[in-house]
Amino acid sequence: MRAVIAERTGPPEVLRVTELAAREPGPREIRIAVAACGVCFHDVVARNGTYRRGVEMPVILGHEVAGTVESLGSEVRGLQRGDLVATTTYSHLCGQCRHCRGGHETSCPERVFLGDAGLNGGYAELVCVDADAVQRIPAGVSMEEASIVACTVGTELNAVRDVGRVQLGDRVLVTGAGGGLGLHGIQLCRLAGAFTIAVTTSAAKAARIRDAGADEVIVADKGGDFSGEVRRLTNGHGADVAIDNVGSPVFGAVRRSMADDGRMVLVGQVTGDFIFINPAQLFLRNVSILSAKGVSRAQLADALDLVARQRIRPAVEDVCPLEQAAEAHRRVEAGLSTGRLVLSPLKS
Protein backbone atom coordinates (compact mmCIF):
# COMPACT_ATOMS: atom_id res chain seq x y z
CA MET A 1 0.00 0.00 0.00
CA ARG A 2 1.01 3.63 -0.44
CA ALA A 3 1.49 5.55 2.78
CA VAL A 4 3.00 8.77 4.12
CA ILE A 5 5.56 8.01 6.82
CA ALA A 6 7.81 10.04 9.11
CA GLU A 7 10.92 8.25 10.32
CA ARG A 8 11.85 11.02 12.77
CA THR A 9 10.45 14.22 14.21
CA GLY A 10 11.18 17.39 12.32
CA PRO A 11 9.85 19.85 9.73
CA PRO A 12 7.16 18.92 7.17
CA GLU A 13 9.86 17.57 4.86
CA VAL A 14 10.20 14.45 7.06
CA LEU A 15 6.90 13.26 5.58
CA ARG A 16 7.40 11.10 2.51
CA VAL A 17 5.27 8.74 0.44
CA THR A 18 6.45 5.14 0.28
CA GLU A 19 5.22 1.60 -0.39
CA LEU A 20 4.63 -0.63 2.64
CA ALA A 21 3.20 -4.09 3.24
CA ALA A 22 -0.42 -3.81 4.36
CA ARG A 23 -1.11 -4.96 7.92
CA GLU A 24 -3.56 -7.83 8.37
CA PRO A 25 -6.48 -7.13 10.72
CA GLY A 26 -6.55 -8.89 14.08
CA PRO A 27 -9.51 -11.06 15.16
CA ARG A 28 -11.57 -8.08 16.37
CA GLU A 29 -10.29 -5.55 13.83
CA ILE A 30 -11.39 -4.34 10.44
CA ARG A 31 -9.19 -3.05 7.64
CA ILE A 32 -10.44 0.12 5.99
CA ALA A 33 -9.70 1.22 2.44
CA VAL A 34 -9.12 4.89 3.22
CA ALA A 35 -11.04 7.41 1.12
CA ALA A 36 -10.24 10.49 3.21
CA CYS A 37 -8.20 11.46 6.26
CA GLY A 38 -8.22 14.85 7.97
CA VAL A 39 -5.04 16.76 8.80
CA CYS A 40 -5.26 17.86 12.45
CA PHE A 41 -2.94 20.12 14.44
CA HIS A 42 -2.33 17.06 16.61
CA ASP A 43 -0.60 15.54 13.58
CA VAL A 44 1.60 18.63 13.34
CA VAL A 45 2.74 18.56 16.97
CA ALA A 46 3.32 14.79 16.81
CA ARG A 47 5.43 15.28 13.68
CA ASN A 48 7.47 18.23 14.97
CA GLY A 49 8.15 16.64 18.36
CA THR A 50 6.07 18.97 20.55
CA TYR A 51 3.76 16.08 21.46
CA ARG A 52 5.51 12.80 22.30
CA ARG A 53 3.18 10.73 24.48
CA GLY A 54 2.44 7.45 22.70
CA VAL A 55 4.14 8.55 19.47
CA GLU A 56 6.32 5.82 18.00
CA MET A 57 8.67 6.42 15.06
CA PRO A 58 8.55 5.57 12.24
CA VAL A 59 4.92 6.62 12.12
CA ILE A 60 1.99 6.93 9.75
CA LEU A 61 0.01 9.88 11.09
CA GLY A 62 -3.72 10.46 10.77
CA HIS A 63 -6.63 9.78 13.12
CA GLU A 64 -9.57 11.22 11.15
CA VAL A 65 -10.51 8.45 8.75
CA ALA A 66 -13.44 7.60 6.49
CA GLY A 67 -13.51 4.75 4.02
CA THR A 68 -14.84 1.34 3.07
CA VAL A 69 -14.54 -1.87 5.10
CA GLU A 70 -12.08 -3.92 3.01
CA SER A 71 -11.57 -6.98 5.25
CA LEU A 72 -12.66 -8.22 8.67
CA GLY A 73 -11.13 -10.21 11.50
CA SER A 74 -12.55 -13.60 12.40
CA GLU A 75 -14.47 -12.37 15.47
CA VAL A 76 -16.03 -9.25 13.95
CA ARG A 77 -19.82 -9.09 13.98
CA GLY A 78 -22.23 -6.45 12.74
CA LEU A 79 -20.10 -5.18 9.85
CA GLN A 80 -19.43 -6.48 6.38
CA ARG A 81 -17.18 -5.75 3.45
CA GLY A 82 -18.27 -2.66 1.56
CA ASP A 83 -19.74 -0.83 4.57
CA LEU A 84 -18.92 2.90 4.62
CA VAL A 85 -17.49 3.86 8.01
CA ALA A 86 -15.86 6.70 9.92
CA THR A 87 -13.49 6.13 12.83
CA THR A 88 -13.26 7.59 16.29
CA THR A 89 -9.80 8.99 17.09
CA TYR A 90 -8.71 5.69 18.68
CA SER A 91 -7.71 2.43 17.00
CA HIS A 92 -8.15 0.40 20.20
CA LEU A 93 -10.04 0.59 23.49
CA CYS A 94 -10.50 -2.31 25.90
CA GLY A 95 -14.28 -1.90 26.17
CA GLN A 96 -14.27 -3.53 29.61
CA CYS A 97 -12.75 -1.09 32.12
CA ARG A 98 -14.80 1.26 34.30
CA HIS A 99 -14.02 4.15 31.93
CA CYS A 100 -15.29 2.30 28.85
CA ARG A 101 -18.36 0.96 30.67
CA GLY A 102 -19.09 4.36 32.20
CA GLY A 103 -19.12 6.28 28.92
CA HIS A 104 -15.65 7.78 29.45
CA GLU A 105 -13.78 5.49 27.07
CA THR A 106 -11.34 8.25 26.07
CA SER A 107 -9.69 7.58 29.47
CA CYS A 108 -9.33 3.83 28.86
CA PRO A 109 -5.86 2.75 30.09
CA GLU A 110 -5.45 0.59 26.97
CA ARG A 111 -6.40 3.36 24.54
CA VAL A 112 -4.28 3.66 21.40
CA PHE A 113 -4.59 6.95 19.55
CA LEU A 114 -4.94 6.22 15.86
CA GLY A 115 -1.94 7.45 13.88
CA ASP A 116 0.45 7.92 16.81
CA ALA A 117 1.55 4.33 17.36
CA GLY A 118 3.83 3.15 14.56
CA LEU A 119 2.85 2.27 11.01
CA ASN A 120 -0.94 2.28 11.33
CA GLY A 121 -2.51 5.64 10.57
CA GLY A 122 -4.86 7.32 8.15
CA TYR A 123 -2.26 8.86 5.80
CA ALA A 124 -2.35 5.59 3.83
CA GLU A 125 -4.43 3.50 1.48
CA LEU A 126 -5.29 0.99 4.24
CA VAL A 127 -5.59 1.20 8.03
CA CYS A 128 -6.67 -1.27 10.75
CA VAL A 129 -8.86 -0.37 13.73
CA ASP A 130 -11.03 -2.21 16.24
CA ALA A 131 -14.42 -2.98 14.71
CA ASP A 132 -16.16 -1.11 17.54
CA ALA A 133 -14.07 2.02 16.87
CA VAL A 134 -16.20 2.98 13.87
CA GLN A 135 -19.68 4.18 13.02
CA ARG A 136 -21.47 3.76 9.72
CA ILE A 137 -21.61 6.92 7.60
CA PRO A 138 -25.20 8.13 7.16
CA ALA A 139 -26.66 8.78 3.73
CA GLY A 140 -25.92 12.23 2.38
CA VAL A 141 -22.58 12.64 4.21
CA SER A 142 -19.54 12.62 1.93
CA MET A 143 -16.35 10.72 2.73
CA GLU A 144 -14.43 13.99 3.10
CA GLU A 145 -17.01 15.34 5.55
CA ALA A 146 -17.26 12.06 7.47
CA SER A 147 -13.50 11.81 7.89
CA ILE A 148 -13.28 14.95 10.04
CA VAL A 149 -16.47 14.52 12.07
CA ALA A 150 -15.00 12.57 15.00
CA CYS A 151 -12.16 14.92 15.83
CA THR A 152 -13.74 18.27 14.96
CA VAL A 153 -17.48 17.92 15.55
CA GLY A 154 -17.30 15.05 18.05
CA THR A 155 -14.62 16.56 20.27
CA GLU A 156 -16.35 19.93 20.28
CA LEU A 157 -19.68 18.22 21.01
CA ASN A 158 -17.95 16.66 24.01
CA ALA A 159 -16.63 20.07 25.07
CA VAL A 160 -19.78 22.13 24.45
CA ARG A 161 -22.56 19.74 25.46
CA ASP A 162 -21.15 17.11 27.78
CA VAL A 163 -18.31 18.89 29.63
CA GLY A 164 -19.09 22.60 29.29
CA ARG A 165 -22.86 22.04 29.66
CA VAL A 166 -23.60 25.07 27.49
CA GLN A 167 -27.19 26.22 27.92
CA LEU A 168 -29.58 28.61 26.23
CA GLY A 169 -28.41 32.17 26.88
CA ASP A 170 -24.91 31.32 28.09
CA ARG A 171 -22.12 33.65 27.03
CA VAL A 172 -19.49 31.40 25.44
CA LEU A 173 -15.94 32.24 24.39
CA VAL A 174 -14.38 30.10 21.63
CA THR A 175 -10.65 30.41 20.94
CA GLY A 176 -8.89 29.22 17.80
CA ALA A 177 -12.15 30.06 16.08
CA GLY A 178 -10.88 29.83 12.52
CA GLY A 179 -9.47 26.32 12.86
CA GLY A 180 -11.05 22.92 12.43
CA LEU A 181 -12.14 22.66 16.05
CA GLY A 182 -13.23 26.26 16.49
CA LEU A 183 -15.52 26.52 13.47
CA HIS A 184 -17.46 23.46 14.61
CA GLY A 185 -17.54 24.57 18.24
CA ILE A 186 -19.15 27.83 17.12
CA GLN A 187 -21.83 25.95 15.19
CA LEU A 188 -22.59 23.78 18.21
CA CYS A 189 -22.81 26.81 20.50
CA ARG A 190 -25.27 28.38 18.06
CA LEU A 191 -27.40 25.21 18.17
CA ALA A 192 -27.34 25.35 21.98
CA GLY A 193 -28.67 28.93 21.94
CA ALA A 194 -25.54 30.57 23.33
CA PHE A 195 -24.23 34.08 22.71
CA THR A 196 -20.88 33.20 21.17
CA ILE A 197 -17.74 35.33 21.10
CA ALA A 198 -15.04 33.97 18.80
CA VAL A 199 -11.33 34.82 18.98
CA THR A 200 -8.97 34.55 16.02
CA THR A 201 -5.56 35.94 15.10
CA SER A 202 -6.53 36.24 11.42
CA ALA A 203 -8.71 39.09 10.20
CA ALA A 204 -9.07 37.19 6.91
CA LYS A 205 -11.01 34.46 8.72
CA ALA A 206 -13.50 36.76 10.46
CA ALA A 207 -16.22 36.53 7.79
CA ARG A 208 -16.05 32.72 7.72
CA ILE A 209 -16.26 32.65 11.52
CA ARG A 210 -19.34 34.87 11.51
CA ASP A 211 -20.89 32.64 8.86
CA ALA A 212 -20.42 29.67 11.20
CA GLY A 213 -22.62 31.43 13.75
CA ALA A 214 -20.41 33.63 15.94
CA ASP A 215 -22.26 36.64 17.37
CA GLU A 216 -19.03 38.59 17.83
CA VAL A 217 -15.52 38.10 16.47
CA ILE A 218 -12.40 39.41 18.19
CA VAL A 219 -9.26 39.63 16.04
CA ALA A 220 -6.38 39.51 18.54
CA ASP A 221 -2.62 39.57 18.20
CA LYS A 222 -0.88 36.29 19.00
CA GLY A 223 -0.42 36.23 22.76
CA GLY A 224 -2.52 39.37 23.14
CA ASP A 225 -4.96 40.00 25.99
CA PHE A 226 -8.49 40.00 24.60
CA SER A 227 -10.21 39.75 27.99
CA GLY A 228 -11.15 43.45 28.10
CA GLU A 229 -13.01 43.12 24.82
CA VAL A 230 -14.80 39.98 26.06
CA ARG A 231 -15.98 41.87 29.13
CA ARG A 232 -17.08 44.83 27.02
CA LEU A 233 -19.10 42.57 24.73
CA THR A 234 -20.76 40.92 27.74
CA ASN A 235 -21.51 44.20 29.57
CA GLY A 236 -18.86 43.38 32.17
CA HIS A 237 -20.21 39.91 32.92
CA GLY A 238 -17.50 37.79 31.27
CA ALA A 239 -17.79 34.35 29.69
CA ASP A 240 -19.88 31.68 31.40
CA VAL A 241 -18.08 29.00 29.38
CA ALA A 242 -14.82 29.05 27.43
CA ILE A 243 -14.08 26.43 24.78
CA ASP A 244 -10.30 26.81 24.52
CA ASN A 245 -8.86 25.17 21.43
CA VAL A 246 -5.44 26.87 21.72
CA GLY A 247 -4.01 26.30 25.21
CA SER A 248 -0.98 27.99 26.75
CA PRO A 249 -0.73 31.04 24.43
CA VAL A 250 -4.20 32.26 25.44
CA PHE A 251 -4.65 30.74 28.90
CA GLY A 252 -4.12 34.01 30.79
CA ALA A 253 -6.49 35.97 28.57
CA VAL A 254 -9.13 33.24 28.81
CA ARG A 255 -8.89 33.14 32.60
CA ARG A 256 -9.31 36.91 32.81
CA SER A 257 -12.33 36.65 30.51
CA MET A 258 -14.27 34.30 32.79
CA ALA A 259 -17.39 35.21 34.72
CA ASP A 260 -17.82 34.11 38.33
CA ASP A 261 -18.79 30.41 38.38
CA GLY A 262 -17.40 30.12 34.83
CA ARG A 263 -16.26 26.88 33.23
CA MET A 264 -13.03 26.75 31.23
CA VAL A 265 -12.97 23.70 28.94
CA LEU A 266 -9.50 22.85 27.65
CA VAL A 267 -9.57 21.15 24.25
CA GLY A 268 -6.35 22.01 22.39
CA GLN A 269 -2.70 22.78 23.07
CA VAL A 270 -0.71 24.13 20.13
CA THR A 271 2.67 24.60 21.86
CA GLY A 272 4.81 22.85 24.46
CA ASP A 273 4.82 25.87 26.77
CA PHE A 274 3.89 25.71 30.45
CA ILE A 275 1.76 28.24 32.31
CA PHE A 276 1.94 29.66 35.84
CA ILE A 277 -1.11 30.76 37.80
CA ASN A 278 -2.07 31.75 41.30
CA PRO A 279 -4.82 29.28 42.31
CA ALA A 280 -6.63 32.07 44.16
CA GLN A 281 -7.37 33.68 40.81
CA LEU A 282 -9.60 30.69 40.15
CA PHE A 283 -11.10 29.54 43.44
CA LEU A 284 -11.98 33.01 44.74
CA ARG A 285 -14.29 33.37 41.73
CA ASN A 286 -15.30 29.69 41.64
CA VAL A 287 -13.92 29.20 38.11
CA SER A 288 -13.62 25.54 37.08
CA ILE A 289 -10.97 24.13 34.74
CA LEU A 290 -12.28 21.13 32.81
CA SER A 291 -11.13 19.21 29.75
CA ALA A 292 -12.61 17.45 26.74
CA LYS A 293 -10.29 14.72 25.52
CA GLY A 294 -11.29 13.09 22.27
CA VAL A 295 -14.60 11.58 21.30
CA SER A 296 -16.52 8.48 22.34
CA ARG A 297 -18.36 6.16 19.98
CA ALA A 298 -21.70 7.54 21.18
CA GLN A 299 -20.55 11.12 20.63
CA LEU A 300 -19.36 10.22 17.11
CA ALA A 301 -22.78 8.75 16.35
CA ASP A 302 -24.47 11.94 17.58
CA ALA A 303 -22.06 14.12 15.59
CA LEU A 304 -22.63 12.16 12.36
CA ASP A 305 -26.38 12.46 12.91
CA LEU A 306 -26.11 16.25 13.27
CA VAL A 307 -24.19 16.41 10.00
CA ALA A 308 -26.65 14.11 8.22
CA ARG A 309 -29.53 16.33 9.34
CA GLN A 310 -27.57 19.39 8.16
CA ARG A 311 -27.50 20.99 11.59
CA ILE A 312 -23.69 21.10 11.41
CA ARG A 313 -21.69 21.79 8.25
CA PRO A 314 -18.26 20.12 8.27
CA ALA A 315 -15.66 22.74 7.32
CA VAL A 316 -13.53 20.97 4.71
CA GLU A 317 -11.33 23.59 3.04
CA ASP A 318 -9.41 21.44 0.57
CA VAL A 319 -8.80 17.82 -0.43
CA CYS A 320 -5.22 16.93 -1.38
CA PRO A 321 -3.41 13.77 -2.58
CA LEU A 322 -1.07 11.93 -0.21
CA GLU A 323 1.88 13.45 -2.07
CA GLN A 324 0.90 16.88 -0.71
CA ALA A 325 0.97 15.83 2.96
CA ALA A 326 4.03 17.99 3.72
CA GLU A 327 2.44 21.05 2.11
CA ALA A 328 -0.78 20.41 4.04
CA HIS A 329 1.24 20.36 7.27
CA ARG A 330 2.90 23.66 6.33
CA ARG A 331 -0.50 25.28 5.80
CA VAL A 332 -1.92 23.96 9.07
CA GLU A 333 1.19 24.82 11.11
CA ALA A 334 1.20 28.37 9.76
CA GLY A 335 -2.50 28.83 10.49
CA LEU A 336 -3.28 29.41 6.81
CA SER A 337 -6.23 27.01 6.59
CA THR A 338 -9.78 27.82 7.65
CA GLY A 339 -11.37 24.58 8.77
CA ARG A 340 -9.82 21.21 7.88
CA LEU A 341 -7.54 20.04 5.11
CA VAL A 342 -8.12 16.44 4.02
CA LEU A 343 -5.76 13.93 2.40
CA SER A 344 -7.13 11.32 0.01
CA PRO A 345 -5.28 8.33 -1.48
CA LEU A 346 -7.95 8.42 -4.21
CA LYS A 347 -6.95 11.90 -5.39
CA SER A 348 -4.05 12.25 -7.85
The per-residue pLDDT for 78 is: 94
User: So what's the pLDDT on residue 103?
Assistant: 85
Write the DSSP string, 153-198: IIHHHIIIIIIS---TT-EEEESSTTBHHHHHHHHHHHHHT-EEEE
Q: How far apart are CA 127 and CA 69, in angstroms?
A: 10
- In angstroms, the CA 122 to CA 105 distance is 21
Give the CATH class of 165-291.
alpha beta
Q: What would the 3-class secondary structure string for 62-129 be?
A: CCCEEEEEEEECCCCCCCCCCCEEEECCEEECCCCCHHHHCCCHHHCCCCEECCCECCCCCCECEEEE
pLDDT of residue 117: 87
Best CATH choice for the domain 2-151+295-344 from the list 3.30.750.200, 1.20.120.140, 3.90.180.10, 1.10.10.350: 3.90.180.10
Nearest to 318 by CA among 331, 303, 309: 331
| Fold match, 2-151+295-344 / 165-291 | yes
How high is the pLDDT of residue 23?
A: 94
In the three-class reduction of DSSP (H, G, I as helix; E, B as strand; rest coil), residue 289 is classed as strand
> What is the mean pLDDT, run by run of 10 residues, along the chain of 348 residues?
97 97 96 98 95 93 98 96 97 94 91 94 98 96 98 97 97 96 97 98 95 97 95 98 96 97 94 90 95 93 98 96 98 92 93
The domains of the chain are located at 2-151+295-344, 165-291
